[in-house]
Amino acid sequence: MRVAIAGAGAAGLTAAWWAARQGAEVELLESQKQPGRKILISGGGRCNVLPSELSEADFFTSGSRHVLRRLLRTWPLEEVRRWFEEELGIPLVLEEETGKLFPAAQRARPVRDRLAEAVREQGARLHTGFRLERVERREEGFRLAAADGRRLEAGRLILATGGCSVPSTGSDGHGYTLAASLGHRLLPRYPALVPLTTKDAELRALAGISVPVRWRALRDGRPVDAGEGPLLFTHRGFSGPAVLDASHHVVRNGAVLEVSWGAGDAAEWTGWLRGRARRAVERAVGDLLPRRLAALLVRRAGLRGAERCGNLDRGRLDRLLGVLTAFPLPVSGHEGYRTAEVTGGGIPLDEVRPSTLESRLCPGLFLCGEILDLIGRIGGYNFHLAWITGRLAGEAAARP
């Protein structure tokens, strides 16, 4: 069986390994001069290969949660880790504070290099500079045409062309057009895990400050999701794991993000401020939050920073607690695909068979990785999706 795989990113490389391992003749087609360019820039150049724990709640799709659950069960996390460590020889280490798994080398390049080498060792052929431009479904399989005129035929085709995020790595969204040309619907796509922007100059002036927050995404005043983690102020607005995780609700649905600064809730803040009756309110808040942020929040509550905590009447205390624990982030937009870590939306999950990832509309076509309407949160969850869907599609496409 000849299997062509378009895209040699995380999902395509994994699909190639498993398809070749099953004995298929594998042609791995990559538009760039080298495979896995996005792996190289992942995790700040360290590549957060996997999370150390996961649950269904770490993933988001507008499709069926049942299909998501079935996909996650196809390759348990411990087995994916064993594949990396024992089959590929890439030892992983846990970063305790974040629960993320990184390569012991703490560099992304050896991960990419070893994956590409392992794929070749299994016998797959890598064609770089091969941008799949057009696909024709024939009775006996697929006829593929590259942008530079090269031609190829294959009995099965796996589309592992990624999304639209950071297009300079090669994922320019053409894969969606190819899938649509073979009959698939495209759900609206949007940048996800993306920094948000603000017009609030005072908040932008806090650029560089990172602070732990609890966040809630609200639609029509009702919470739709919540989480916690660090928020980073940037020159354009807000980033950091908390904001990236929450961003898809804002970009996709126009949700409002409300944050609670620091680790405390209203009762804890009240206790903290009451216990510091003689301390200036700005100082008391600044003991738990970065000083410049504390000063700004106290101002936003309409209080004088020098005012003593003990002098706050109920009304002013409530105003301060509101700003500290239910602060609506004034979001004006997002940074777009240039910096988004993943693309939401894409091929609906109900158009693939969850046990094989074969298209329900075009037999012989398989889809894996970010092209599917499925994303994970920050922490190795998106690579996890790439590895498990790549394996599923690769193994299934190789079956006679």
Q: What residues make contact with ligand FAD under the rule CB under 6 A? A: 6-12, 29-32, 37-38, 41-43, 47-48, 130-132, 160-162, 165-166, 170-171, 174-175, 341-342, 369-370, 380-383, 386
CB of 147 to ligand FAD, least distance (A): 8
CB of 178 to ligand FAD, least distance (A): 6
108 contact partners, CB below 8 Å, separation of at least 6: 39, 40, 41, 42, 43, 45, 46, 47
Residues 35, 24 contacting (CB under 8 angstroms): no
CB of 384 to ligand FAD, least distance (A): 6
Q: How far apart are CA 353 and CA 371, in angstroms?
A: 15
Choose among 388, 400, 399: nearest CA to 160. Answer: 388
Rg over CA atoms, the chain:
24
Q: Which ranges of 35-140 would DSSP assign to H, the alpha helix?
A: 37-41, 65-73, 77-82, 108-121
Show the CA angle centred on residue 14, arms to residues 8 and 19, nearest 5°. Answer: 105
Q: How far apart are CA 6 and CA 371, in angstroms?
A: 12
Q: How far apart are CA 236 and CA 396, in angstroms?
A: 45
CB of 255 to ligand FAD, least distance (A): 22
Residue whose CB is less far from ligand FAD, 131 or 184: 131
CB of 340 to ligand FAD, least distance (A): 7
51: helix, coil or strand? Answer: strand
CB of 46 to ligand FAD, least distance (A): 7
Residue whose CB is less far from ligand FAD, 115 or 289: 115
Choose among 54, 43, 53, 50: nearest CA to 92. Answer: 50
